A and B are shown apart, each in its own frame.
Chain A
Amino acid sequence: MTFLRLLARNRLALAGLVVMAAVVALALVTPLLPLAPPNVTDTGNRFLPPFSEGAPLGTDHLGRDLLSRLLWGTRLSLAVGFAAALIAAVLGAAIGIVAGYYRGRIDNVVMRGVDMLMAFPYILLALAIVAALGPGLMNALIAVAAVNVPFFARNIRGITVGIANKEFVDAARLSGLSDARIILTEVLPNVVPVIVIAMSTTVGWMILETAGLSFLGLGSQPPVADLGSMLGEARSALITNPHTSVVPGLMILVIVMAINLLGDGVRDALDPRLRSGALSRPMAATRVDRGDRVPPPADPEAVLALEGLETQFHVGKRVFRAVGGVDLSVKPGECLGIIGESGSGKSVTALSVMGLVPSPPGVITAGAARFRGEDLVGMPYGRLREKRGRSVAYIFQDPLATLHPLYRVGDQLVEAIRAHRPIGRAEGRARAVELLRAVRIPNPEDRVSNYPHEMSGGMRQRVGIAMALANDPDVIIADEPTTALDVTVQAQILSLLDDLRRSRGLAIVFITHDFGVVGQLCDRVAVMYAGRIVEEGPTRAILETPRHPYTARLIDCVPELGQGRRRLEAIPGLPPAVDRLPEGCAFAERCRNARPDCRAGDIPLEREGTRAVRCLHPETHPEREAAE
């Protein structure tokens, strides 16, 4: 039923359905209509123009009523097209099911044959079949059906192979059902929808193809005419009496177009990816819609400062508040960690800085991201592009997916440089080698001409880092750069980043879900939960005396070597969905300290010295605080 609803929501498909229904209805009632006989010639009234008396669409070269011939021709064309589709579907499905169900030698022989047939340009094959059978509508129908059988056979075989390996088929086999029984009761019902889709997308072609064969004089023979042969006969009078050509031609166009619209609608309704609008392309920069709510600049020391940043995802009527007002800053040479579970908004925060949040559906709705005092949010695209990679560079998580698979890594490095300044071939290559050496890739002269798939995960991530360094940026935002890597490689990458930071005075924003990593690298850390910062401060202080219960629970999740059999505590429950955030503290549901006032209203991020926490009932650490 959702299928029908989706189909109905697609207005174009609906239009196609209505037109098609009208044409089919017209074709069905044609014999009942008070029409002139379609095949009776009346040479006295040749080539009457449209809107003539007694002939609304005029007459053809033999004086036959065009309206009557059009309707009878449509009836014939539709019948032949649908019949061909049905024959092709039934034969193709039968072949496909047998090949896919029995596999083995039958499958091999059949599929070789199918491949062979598909090696033909198919109109040619249809011509060859008609050549053998002789011209005639029935033969054209057979030819069109025959050339489409391989298409169905291949599709259905693929589906059947999948089904034949399912448990319910095994169960049926074990219970002693015969193969024929299993095919009919278990396999066929699952294949039918696929057959219907394949038919809905090919029936338009088949109508076109049979019309084509008739047009060539190889299909329906005079005096009976389908739409194709009407057009073929009218061709000789094209210049003198174009209406005889236009009438059947337009009819074919309308029918095929309606079928195509309907077929697209059917396919879209059945393709789940299109339902949520997931197939929309991200724009060059994230959409910004923050009105005049631009906060005043703060923290002049910071190289990068986020102020009240809010980023949302607008999907249909739902609003996901991925980032709900984040303030952060990082100074030159400093490493700031942002930590949180997946879905906490840490990556979206990072991507918002340079407008890299995919949009649609992403929108930056408030706040600012200032690089050396200049607001990056809402900056014109041209200027933002110049800043990307040069002022703030990114290192992303999965280096296999984030490098272009079809360009050599050296070329990708050179491109990063070339995006910001012209550089010659030789110089570019030299610089690429230099960059690879800087990230400690062995044999950089050889590696520079590797493709990403020829490198290991660790090497690829080094390339990712080299690319981020290409233009000597002031800030590097590393979005879980070590998550996809082995532990040993992870340690190497972390120490590399730390060295680079010290030697180049880079500011690093390091996003992770792993407190272990934060402890190794970051000076300060911000903990995010449900799109907001819940705690922030110097790394050591936070690790030792976490104030926010969430931070404390997160730290408890980290296994420590040599700590014996300490119980690793998972946090019960799940983070709230960011389109239905609760009133007050978002963590209250999962918090062991939660009291009624936690859910009463918005809780501010209270700052105290170098630390800040968003909690009414923070954790206390009497023993450690006494020691301090």
Chain B
Amino acid sequence: MGRYILGRLVSAVPVLFGITVIVFLIMALIPGDPATAILGAYATPENVAKINRDLGLDAPLVLRYFNWLGNMLTGDFGTSFSLNRPVLDEVLERFGATLILAGSAFVLCAVFGIAAGVVSAANQYGAADKAITFAVLLGISIPSFFLGMMMILGFAVTLRWFPVSGMWPIYGDRDLWALLDHLAMPAVALAVVATGVVARLSRSAMLEVLRQDFIRTARAKGVHERGVIWRHALRAAMVSIIPVLGIQAGFVLSGAVYIEIVFQWPGIGRMLVNAILTRDILLVQGGVVFVAACYVLFNIAVDVAQSLLDPRIRT
């Protein structure tokens, strides 16, 4: 097991390396001049040249890349010019908020998606199946930002069940209860699409598994139908559900950007959009690389979970 994890970690190194190359190339090769953006109206040729020199932008491309990479490896992601603070500090702080949001959405989509898929498959063509199938269709078709806005309108403005936006109350304690109160709507809004995708896949995976011979064996030995569905069938179906959970993790992590905007959640997605609009290149680069790296590591965790679940992979 240890060797397997180690192997997966080693194989992630080139992927992480590739991610930095892609991000760097996207930012470097395509026209768009950070110096002009920083200087705005003060963009005289001399000033631009000075800024480029200060930021190291006048060096050859390869050198610039390795400078950037080397600095990142030592924890120096550069300084955001629009915020005037180290990129890493900002990224870490914002990423924490995103992690809370995306993490809760991920848990929601995994739990409810799988449960809905299982119930749907177990009652194929029944009323529950039809209701879930319709809800899933609606869920995967609705833009999360529109859903979030409608939730604000319904549950925050009209019903006053939840606060309209933000992560913490403006006045009052910053305790867990306050956080959950603020988290509920954005987490649900973010989870809906992913839940639909997971439910859909879980349903078809379950249907596939329920036709297998070992299900008949379980029934033949007298296992209760509940056990057949939730223990035998779901366990086998998880083998194809888990990779989709990995993909959905990436989806909630990056899809959080819309929800963060709608609910004014101080996460990394909102930071990135602002950084893009202000053309704060270092902040964009740092944020994207950081999130992508986290996603790669998360996918390794998914593979490990998969191998724990399926003894056939390990050998």
A453 at the interface (CB under 8 A from B): yes
User: What distance in Å separates the Cβ of A80 from its nearest Cβ neighbour in chain B?
Assistant: 15
- Chain B residues with CB under 8 Å of A32's CB are none
By secondary structure, the A interface counts as: helix
User: Which of these, B208, B220, B299, B309, contacts A389 with CB under 8 Å?
Assistant: B220
Asked whether, in the complex, the Cβ of A401 is within 8 Å of the Cβ of B146, the reply is no
User: What distance in Å separates the Cβ of B189 from its nearest Cβ neighbour in chain A?
Assistant: 13
A386 to B299, CA, bound (A): 43
- Chain B residues with CB under 8 Å of A281's CB are 121-122, 124, 206-207, 210-211
User: Which of these, B141, B215, B279, contacts A256 with CB under 8 Å?
Assistant: B141
A130 at the interface (CB under 8 A from B): yes
A601 to B312, CA, bound (A): 56
Asked whether, in the complex, the Cβ of B236 is within 8 Å of the Cβ of A404, the reply is yes
Asked whether, in the complex, the Cβ of B255 is within 8 Å of the Cβ of A116, the reply is no
A470 at the interface (CB under 8 A from B): yes
Asked whether, in the complex, the Cβ of B292 is within 8 Å of the Cβ of A119, the reply is yes
User: What distance in Å separates the Cβ of B160 from its nearest Cβ neighbour in chain A?
Assistant: 12
User: Which of these, A228, A354, A389, A402, contacts B213 with CB under 8 Å?
Assistant: A402
A354-368 residues with Cβ-Cβ distance < 8 A to B are 354, 356, 358
- Chain A residues with CB under 8 Å of B236's CB are 404-406
Known: A242-B153, A280-B125. A208 touches B254 (CB 8 A): no
User: What distance in Å separates the Cβ of B80 from its nearest Cβ neighbour in chain A?
Assistant: 13
B311 at the interface (CB under 8 A from A): yes
Known: A116-B15, A212-B258, A358-B211. A131 touches B276 (CB 8 A): yes
Asked whether, in the complex, the Cβ of B217 is within 8 Å of the Cβ of A404, the reply is yes
Which A residue sits closest to B18, measured CB to CB? A116
Asked whether, in the complex, the Cβ of B19 is within 8 Å of the Cβ of A402, the reply is no
B3 at the interface (CB under 8 A from A): no
A133 to B33, CA, bound (A): 10
- Chain A residues with CB under 8 Å of B275's CB are 131
Known: A116-B18, A406-B239. A231 touches B27 (CB 8 A): no
User: Which of these, B221, B225, B228, B279, contacts A416 with CB under 8 Å?
Assistant: B221
Known: A133-B32, A208-B143, A415-B223. A216 touches B258 (CB 8 A): yes
A381 at the interface (CB under 8 A from B): yes
Asked whether, in the complex, the Cβ of B26 is within 8 Å of the Cβ of A121, the reply is no
By secondary structure, the B interface counts as: helix
- Chain A residues with CB under 8 Å of B214's CB are 401-405
A125 to B291, CA, bound (A): 11
Asked whether, in the complex, the Cβ of B220 is within 8 Å of the Cβ of A121, the reply is no
B149 at the interface (CB under 8 A from A): yes
B248-262 residues with Cβ-Cβ distance < 8 A to A are 250-251, 253-255, 257-258, 261-262
Asked whether, in the complex, the Cβ of A117 is within 8 Å of the Cβ of B140, the reply is no
Asked whether, in the complex, the Cβ of A133 is within 8 Å of the Cβ of B122, the reply is no
A617 at the interface (CB under 8 A from B): no
B276-312 residues with Cβ-Cβ distance < 8 A to A are 276-277, 279, 281, 284, 288, 291-292, 295-296, 299, 309-312
B100 at the interface (CB under 8 A from A): no
A120 at the interface (CB under 8 A from B): yes
A239 at the interface (CB under 8 A from B): yes
B232 at the interface (CB under 8 A from A): yes
Known: A116-B19, A119-B295, A401-B212. A419 touches B143 (CB 8 A): no
| Count of chain A residues with a beta carbon within 8 Å of a chain B beta carbon | 84
- Chain B residues with CB under 8 Å of A285's CB are 219
A406 to B214, CA, bound (A): 11
Which B residue sits closest to A388, measured CB to CB? B222
Asked whether, in the complex, the Cβ of A402 is within 8 Å of the Cβ of B284, the reply is no
A105-136 residues with Cβ-Cβ distance < 8 A to B are 112-113, 115-117, 119-125, 127-135
B111-139 residues with Cβ-Cβ distance < 8 A to A are 121-122, 124-125, 137-138
User: What distance in Å separates the Cβ of B108 from its nearest Cβ neighbour in chain A?
Assistant: 18
- Chain B residues with CB under 8 Å of A396's CB are 213, 216-217, 220
Known: A217-B273, A356-B219. A121 touches B235 (CB 8 A): no
Asked whether, in the complex, the Cβ of A115 is within 8 Å of the Cβ of B15, the reply is yes
User: Which of these, A253, A358, A389, A401, contacts B222 with CB under 8 Å?
Assistant: A389
A313-328 residues with Cβ-Cβ distance < 8 A to B are none
Asked whether, in the complex, the Cβ of B273 is within 8 Å of the Cβ of A280, the reply is no
Known: A238-B153, A388-B222. A406 touches B235 (CB 8 A): yes
A557-575 residues with Cβ-Cβ distance < 8 A to B are none
Asked whether, in the complex, the Cβ of B276 is within 8 Å of the Cβ of A386, the reply is no
A123 to B296, CA, bound (A): 15
Known: A119-B18, A123-B254, A131-B27. A393 touches B140 (CB 8 A): no
Asked whether, in the complex, the Cβ of B312 is within 8 Å of the Cβ of A132, the reply is no
- Chain B residues with CB under 8 Å of A381's CB are 225
B191 at the interface (CB under 8 A from A): no
Asked whether, in the complex, the Cβ of B277 is within 8 Å of the Cβ of A128, the reply is no
A416 to B218, CA, bound (A): 8
A157 at the interface (CB under 8 A from B): no
B77 at the interface (CB under 8 A from A): no
B227 at the interface (CB under 8 A from A): yes
A474 to B165, CA, bound (A): 67
Asked whether, in the complex, the Cβ of B143 is within 8 Å of the Cβ of A130, the reply is no
B272 at the interface (CB under 8 A from A): yes
Known: A119-B15, A280-B124, A358-B211. A128 touches B26 (CB 8 A): yes
User: Which of these, B140, B216, B277, B310, contacts A356 with CB under 8 Å?
Assistant: B216
B152 at the interface (CB under 8 A from A): yes
Asked whether, in the complex, the Cβ of B141 is within 8 Å of the Cβ of A253, the reply is yes
Which A residue sits closest to B125, measured CB to CB? A280
A218 at the interface (CB under 8 A from B): yes
Known: A135-B277, A406-B310. A121 touches B253 (CB 8 A): yes
B1 at the interface (CB under 8 A from A): no
Q: Mark B13-35, 1 if CB is under 8 A from A, else 0.
A: 00100110011001100101000
User: What distance in Å separates the Cβ of A454 from its nearest Cβ neighbour in chain B?
Assistant: 8
Asked whether, in the complex, the Cβ of B26 is within 8 Å of the Cβ of A402, the reply is no
- Chain A residues with CB under 8 Å of B315's CB are 453-454
Asked whether, in the complex, the Cβ of A245 is within 8 Å of the Cβ of B149, the reply is yes
A406 to B239, CA, bound (A): 10
Asked whether, in the complex, the Cβ of B291 is within 8 Å of the Cβ of A124, the reply is yes
Q: Mark B233-270, 1 if CB is under 8 A from A, else 0.
A: 00110010000000000110111011001100000000
Asked whether, in the complex, the Cβ of A132 is within 8 Å of the Cβ of B26, the reply is yes
Asked whether, in the complex, the Cβ of A231 is within 8 Å of the Cβ of B32, the reply is no
Known: A128-B27, A216-B257, A404-B232. A419 touches B276 (CB 8 A): no
B145 at the interface (CB under 8 A from A): yes
Asked whether, in the complex, the Cβ of A282 is within 8 Å of the Cβ of B210, the reply is yes
Known: A133-B32, A212-B145, A216-B273. A123 touches B220 (CB 8 A): no
Please list 22 pairs of residues, one from A and one from B, whose beta carbons are closer than 8 Å in the complex, sorted by A's number.
Answer: A115-B15, A119-B19, A121-B250, A127-B254, A131-B275, A132-B26, A132-B30, A132-B32, A133-B30, A133-B32, A134-B279, A239-B152, A242-B153, A253-B143, A256-B142, A256-B143, A281-B124, A281-B211, A404-B235, A406-B312, A451-B312, A453-B312
**With contacts A212-B145, A393-B221 known, what are 5 further pairs, Cβ within 8 A?**
A127-B288, A249-B143, A358-B211, A396-B213, A415-B218
The 5 closest A-B pairs by CB, nearest first: A121-B254, A249-B146, A389-B222, A121-B250, A123-B254
